[in-house]
Amino acid sequence: MIIMQQKLRILLVEDEDHLLDAIKLNLELEGYKVHAVKDGKTALKIFKEERFNLIILDVMLPEMDGFQVCETIRLENTEVPILFLTAKNTSEDRVMGLKKGADDYLVKPFNLEELILRVGILVKRSMKSDDLKELNSYKIGDKTIYFNSFELKQDDGVIVPLTKKETMLLKLLIERKNEAVSREQILETVWNYDVYPSTRTIDNFILTFRKYFEPDQKNPVYFHSIRGVGYKFTDIHS
């Protein structure tokens, strides 16, 4: 569990120094990587530059309040869980927070144990259920992908080695077959939040897959580009 959590990144937005320090310390002790900022505008800037598994947001913030930050994030990203951590405790405030797109709302002063549990639940929900499933191999046409050994076996017995990223992207698309998977989801899952490659990089991977699997690369039947969204895998044999 600890190994899994070390990869998980949290954006913490809180303008009270002492509270920020104490929350950051606790989340780091739980194994999360925390990026802490003190105002709304910086939070948005950092959110655009990096990938996160959870955002913890105060409401009363300098420059731009937490509700606005949440609303702006939701315009581009509906997936990342957002937890409001605020002194505003009326039911109107809670309703407003949830309407703006938050997943959870915790009122100050809160219990440490409760914060950690809620963070854990939200982060777990954010992780693709696919990560928890075990898919060992998959057959596309006359070729079989072996995910654990990073190999592609042709029907003539020739084995083509796959890179780790190729394998991960194949796994993601196959597990979501017949669904459009956004570039953002691909970046989150395959590039693991750390590096932000250009979208051309993903295009190149898809071209490689077409070379491997498509009978006619110009008219793909397995790997489709969905304009403005991302990519979709369809299996004509299933």
The secondary structure of residue 161, as a DSSP letter, is: E
**Which one, 45 or 139, has the nearer CB to other proteins?**
45
Is the CB of residue 155 less than 8 Å from the CB of residue 143? yes
Is the CB of residue 209 less than 8 Å from the CB of residue 223? yes
**Which one, 63 or 179, has the nearer CB to other proteins?**
63
Report the nearest approach of other proteins to the CB of residue 89 (Å). Answer: 7
Report the nearest approach of other proteins to the CB of residue 125 (Å). Answer: 24
Count the neighbouring beta carbons within 10 Å of the beta carbon of residue 230.
21
**Which one, 19 or 127, has the nearer CB to other proteins?**
19
Report the nearest approach of other proteins to the CB of residue 7 (Å). Answer: 22
Report the nearest approach of other proteins to the CB of residue 87 (Å). Answer: 4
For residue 118, what is the enclosing H or E element? helix 112-126
What is the DSSP annotation of 38-100? SSHHHHHHHHHHS--SEEEE-SS-SSS-HHHHHHHHHHH-SSS-EEEEES--SHHHHHHHHHT
45 vs 19: CA distance, rounded Å: 22
**Which one, 24 or 210, has the nearer CB to other proteins?**
24
User: Alpha-carbon Rg of the chain, whole angstroms?
Assistant: 21
Q: Which residues of this protein are in contact with other proteins, per CB under 8 A?
A: 16-19, 21-23, 25-26, 29, 39-40, 59-65, 67, 87-89, 108-113
For residue 205, what is the enclosing H or E element? helix 199-213
Sheet of strand 230-233, all strands in order from the earlier edge strand to the far edge: 180-182, 230-233, 223-226
Report the nearest approach of other proteins to the CB of residue 70 (Å). Answer: 13
Report the nearest approach of other proteins to the CB of residue 53 (Å). Answer: 21
Report the nearest approach of other proteins to the CB of residue 8 (Å). Answer: 19
**Which one, 113 or 134, has the nearer CB to other proteins?**
113
Tell me the C-alpha to C-alpha distance, in Å, between residue 120 and each of 20, 27, 141, 147.
18, 10, 40, 28
**Which one, 25 or 135, has the nearer CB to other proteins?**
25
**Which one, 55 or 115, has the nearer CB to other proteins?**
115
